[in-house]
Amino acid sequence: MKKKPISVLLAAAMTAGLLAGCGSNNAKPAETPAETPAATTAKAETGETTAAPAAAEGDKKYEGVELTYWSMWTNNEPQGQALQQAAEAFEAETGAKIKFEWKGRETKNILSSALEAQEKFDMFEDDYTRISKNYVNYVADLTDMAKEAGYADKSYAVFNNQATEWAGFLPCVTEQPSVGGVFYNKDIFDDCGITAPTTWDEFMTACQTMKDKGYQPLALDSTYAPFLFGYHLSRHIGQAAVEDLATNGGWSGNPGVVKAGQEMIDFVKAGYLADGAPDEYPASQNKIGLTQKIAMVVCANYITAEVNANTGTELNWGLFAYPSVEGGVDNTSTFAGANSIGITKYSENPQAAFDFAVYLTSGKQSQNMADLSNNIPADPSNTPPAVQSGTNEVLINTTAPLSWNMGLNANADKISVIQEVIVKLYEGSYATGEDFAKALDALY
């Protein structure tokens, strides 16, 4: 364990938290195909552009091209600094000049009208769900360009496949992924001789082992109670069924709800929650760093930077996928989201824009973005920073992304009261899973 100045760590956590705010609410693609000979594609692992060397010696492929890029970051943020560095390198190699307009997080509030009016910009950043669904009529189809560039080998299939399913074509390039699961202190696991559990039974056994060694297994703040229970419930019945129940009720009639509720009741009764949990945010997660006696927390990847920043402690973090449950209908999906890059359908230089997007998000430029911002690299072949250890393995093995709270957010009018019932579940207010399910039905 190392100590860092809190001011430095807090800045990193604020950046990660902002990312979560705009990218993980609804883990939520771009194009006009242009022909590119296969020989023009450069190797992503070197960080080189997909643009080919010009035929005439001394010429650059995109000399005289200017691309306007609307960014959700600011030029002072680590992500903004990485963007500027990549743009300078890209211009030196290809001749294309990138003109940034730093829109900040409010970009999502102005994009729809700007795209409809065909304002003069070539590229923009936003959550991949909104690009794939809300802006699908205004972004370029990147399918052919991606195939020509071998983009599949430089990106996570889970985001490309989901975006393509939503839009009917590849509408965006993943810039900064996020992922959720069980984040844990590797030092505690090592002390207890525990390897990452893959099933609920193994998870419960690991919790008892940690408790016997004087550790508290799981931190939980009330803010993230729906995320934890939503993960567990979706393992039993799948996210689509969770969405239906959240919208229409009928919780008591689903045996999976009763079983999931009972398993959480048993978990609480066994004493596997940290002292005081479910606390008010961020008290419980902070205890992970302050006491160094709490082993795990279920959340998205920004949690690691938050805990490190809030406590001034650099923990030895790891991540494993939420465990499978016996008889579960979805034991492989993982919460995943991505801030991504779309290319306007009306851009005059879609190939140059795509080449820059891939240049930015692969090879050495992707590594630079990850290192500067302490986040997951967009290129799976890169190495996540220590604070994001294990994230790329979980994303590579994810076949389908789950949304935030795994379907519980489907009913905006009910989510706050659903959360109250779930918090009571972790407070020990229900004797049985049936009682918990009935409490949820009483909300309708």
% of the chain at pLDDT higher than 70:
87
Q: Could you report the per-residue pLDDT of 129-159, keeping only the tens digit for each? A: 999 999 999 999 999 999 999 999 999 999 9
| Mean of all residue pLDDT scores within the chain | 89
Q: Could you report the per-residue pLDDT of 166-189, keeping only the tens digit for each? A: 999 999 999 999 999 999 999 999
- Rounded CA gap, 300 and 416, in Å? 20
Q: Could you report the per-residue pLDDT of 12-46, keeping only the tens digit for each? A: 333 333 343 333 333 333 332 233 223 233 333 33
Say whether pLDDT at 215 is over 60.
yes
Residues 7/312, Cβ–Cβ less than 8 Å: no
User: What is the predicted pLDDT for the residue at 399?
Assistant: 86
Q: What is the length of the chain?
A: 444
Residues 378/369, Cβ–Cβ less than 8 Å: yes
Residue 266 has φ and ψ, to the nearest 5°, of -65, -40
Q: How confident is the model at residue 329 (pLDDT cuts 50, 70, 90)?
A: very high
Residues 92/63, Cβ–Cβ less than 8 Å: no
User: What is the predicted pLDDT for the residue at 357?
Assistant: 98
Helix (H, G, I), strand (E, B) or coil at 53: coil
- Rounded CA gap, 444 and 435, in Å? 15
User: What is the predicted pLDDT for the residue at 276?
Assistant: 97
Least confident of 1-10, 114-123, 294-303: 1-10
Q: Could you report the per-residue pLDDT of 347-388, keeping only the tens digit for each? A: 999 999 999 999 999 999 999 999 999 999 999 999 999 999
Least confident of 50-54, 170-174, 301-305: 50-54
CA of 167: how far to CAs of 18, 144, 163, 402, in Å? 26, 15, 6, 17
Q: How confident is the model at residue 58 (pLDDT cuts 50, 70, 90)?
A: low
Residue 298 host element (H or E): strand 294-300
User: What is the predicted pLDDT for the residue at 258?
Assistant: 98
Higher pLDDT among residues 53 and 272, named by residue: 272
**Mean pLDDT value of segment 64-72:** 98
Token pair in block for residue 405:
């709270």
